[in-house]
Structure 1
Amino acid sequence: MASLWMLFASFAFAAMGAGVKLASEFYSTSELLMYRGLIGTVVLLAAVRHRGGSFKTPFVKAHVWRSAVGVVSLWLWFFAISRLPLATAVTLNYMAPIWIAAWMFAHGWWNGTKLPEWPLVLAIAMSFLGVTLVLQPAIAGNQWLGGLAGVASSLISAAAYMQVRRLGQMGEPEYRVVFYFSLSTTLFGLAGTLAGDGPDGAVFQSHTLYSGALLLGVGIFGLLAQMAMTRAYRVGKVLVVANLQYTGIVFSSLWGLALWSDAFDWHVWLGIGVILASGIAATFYNTRSTAKGAVVKDTDPIASET
């Protein structure tokens, strides 16, 4: 089930990215971030209250850390999307699993614990090769700032993904993790908007039916993606889930075809095949060789991640 949750999350994140690209014509990065978080916060608040849930948590410090790195990463990604072609921004953001694997190797080597299985690491490397084939990113000289933001976003999001898994293994329900992240996103976006990060200074842009629909889509798809991703990292194995995240490239390519009439060359289809094959291989290897753990162990590199 973790694989299905991550596949859905990848689709929803791709839809959100397309919405952000379209909406960036009307709103600043911080304003987009604010509405992205506000919609999720309101929906979750109403749903959880209706079902009698609680937002009280014994893991305040963990939530603060997850929200901090997650919000910064999301702001950087939104900025990259607004400055770069969507395909290039998505490519840079999907470097996050590579950073996760690098972190786990470094942590395991430093502490003398078990390293990740080589087949899974190879599958992630092949997936990134597939990403390159699909998108063939090329950043022009005047797009270096957006490119730097995209790389920084992927690096920081790797820490956020591992913290999501840690919270899940600690027993924190998905809705609570996503609620505090959405609330933090709203507050951070509001602060950025008031500070005047947009071209017109501290101003809230007026809405049209079209731009409002884009904001609603960004918020809803972002919320659904966040919930699905949180569940996937809670019940699945981190490298397998991270590898399946690459299927978002396939969905992004389809959005590009539908919205911008992007043509597919042979190398694109080859890259899509590599991405899907490596995802299937990683999932197959994991189910054959590894039993999923339900509790946090001291030898788990994510368990001791601070």
Structure 2
Amino acid sequence: MGIFDRFPPAALRPSAPIAAALYMSAAAFGFSLMNVAIREAAQELSPLQVAFLRNFFAALTLMPWLVAGGFSALRTTRLKTYFWRAAVGLCAMMMWFTSLALLPLADAVALNFTVPLFATVGAALFLDEIVRARRWMATLVGFAGVLVILRPGFTDLSLIMLLPIAAALFQAMGALMVKSLSRTEGAGTVVAYMNLLLTPLSLVPALFVWQWPSGYALALCAFVGFTGAISHVAFTRAYALADASAVMPFDYMRLPFSAALAYLLYTELPDLWTWVGAGIIAASAIYIGQREAKLARERERAVLRAASTSPGSRDV
């Protein structure tokens, strides 16, 4: 056994919840870089075409891994779920890419923070997760944060401002599907199928707005595809290590990352209400995650107590 086989020592390896938080934080940074590249590419190309090129280059990024593994990672009995995941992901992607092209970066990211709120509602409806009164109240507070950002009645509310929220709804649906898939599928398999199915699906709308990209735009799309593929691996791995409600709050690292990039590249500064609203949304989601983690620990202790007191445990 070589030295690299023993590194890092088991004592230094993070626990599953900490590792999930690190994976999600890394994914948030990768997605922030990807968003900047999308915005740049959308200055020349339609967001629909950028979406296709992103999926095309992501599929190319994953191809060496698939070839090296002999395509064994594609073995699955849940192809129908993968197809629906890709269809939902395409809707979210088209809305999100359009948002990045038309809105200030930090505003789009802040409004898109409603993903965990929609995911909490969806987890109760579709994954049979028990959501009690406190989590419902926190979810409502989070949606109040959206109203703080939008300030209806005080500022002009355009349909464009609703695009990142609509994208968040579809992203939450996709995230719940990822959580379901991660129970039986590996992280690489989930990401591979997502990109392999999204590529032909996204080509259809892209053909209606197609124009040949410049070398610069093509390089940006290649970066988007590579970064998106790597970030989605980290994103999916985070879900495999912890509950959706526990890891979702770390996705909020996208706001400081995006705000910093927007200031450095575009001298954009989000206004006070954007920060306040995003803070309300983030606080509600963090509370939801902490509450869910506490309940999960209580359930685990209850199961251990039941196992230790069962008749079969005395026969060992």
Relative to the length of structure 2, the TM-score reads 0.75
State which drifts further: 99-108 or 237-246. 99-108
Deviation at 1:275, TM superposition (A): 6.9
- Alpha carbons 1:193, 1:203 under 8 Å: kept: no
What is residue 155 of structure 1 aligned with on the other side?
169
- Alpha carbons 2:113, 2:252 under 8 Å: kept: yes
Q: Tell me the secondary structure at the aligned position of residue 245 of structure 1.
A: helix
Selected match of 2:120 from 61, 77, 101: 101
1:1-80 mapped onto 2 (5 Å cutoff): 1-54=19-72, 55-80=74-99
1:144-293 mapped onto 2 (5 Å cutoff): 144=159, 146-169=160-183, 171-194=184-207, 196=208, 198=209, 202-208=210-216, 211-263=217-269, 284-291=290-297
Whichever residue aligns with residue 37 of structure 2, its letter is G
State which drifts further: 119-128 or 67-76. 119-128
What is residue 130 of structure 2 aligned with on the other side?
115
Alpha-carbon distance between aligned partners in 1 of 2:104 and 2:111, rounded to the nearest angstrom: 11
- Alpha carbons 1:99, 1:155 under 8 Å: kept: yes
In 2 relative to 1, CA 36–114 (structure 1 residues): closer, same or farther, beyond 3 Å? closer
Alpha-carbon distance between aligned partners in 2 of 1:283 and 1:242, rounded to the nearest angstrom: 7
What is residue 81 of structure 1 aligned with on the other side?
100
Deviation at 1:91, TM superposition (A): 2.5
Alpha-carbon distance between aligned partners in 2 of 1:137 and 1:278, rounded to the nearest angstrom: 19
Alpha-carbon distance between aligned partners in 1 of 2:271 and 2:239, rounded to the nearest angstrom: 33
Deviation at 1:131, TM superposition (A): 7.3
In 2 relative to 1, CA 124–214 (structure 1 residues): closer, same or farther, beyond 3 Å? farther
Deviation at 1:160, TM superposition (A): 0.7
Identity of aligned residues (%): 26
Alpha-carbon distance between aligned partners in 2 of 1:225 and 1:6, rounded to the nearest angstrom: 9
CA-based RMSD of the aligned residues comes to: 3.2
In 2 relative to 1, CA 124–14 (structure 1 residues): closer, same or farther, beyond 3 Å? farther
- Alpha carbons 1:131, 1:249 under 8 Å: kept: no
Structure 1 runs not aligned, ≥5 long: 295-306
Q: Please identify which structure carries the higher helix content.
A: 2
Deviation at 1:106, TM superposition (A): 4.7
Whichever residue aligns with residue 63 of structure 1, its letter is Y
What is residue 301 of structure 1 aligned with on the other side?
none
Deviation at 1:44, TM superposition (A): 1.0
Alpha-carbon distance between aligned partners in 1 of 2:103 and 2:211, rounded to the nearest angstrom: 24
Relative to the length of structure 1, the TM-score reads 0.77
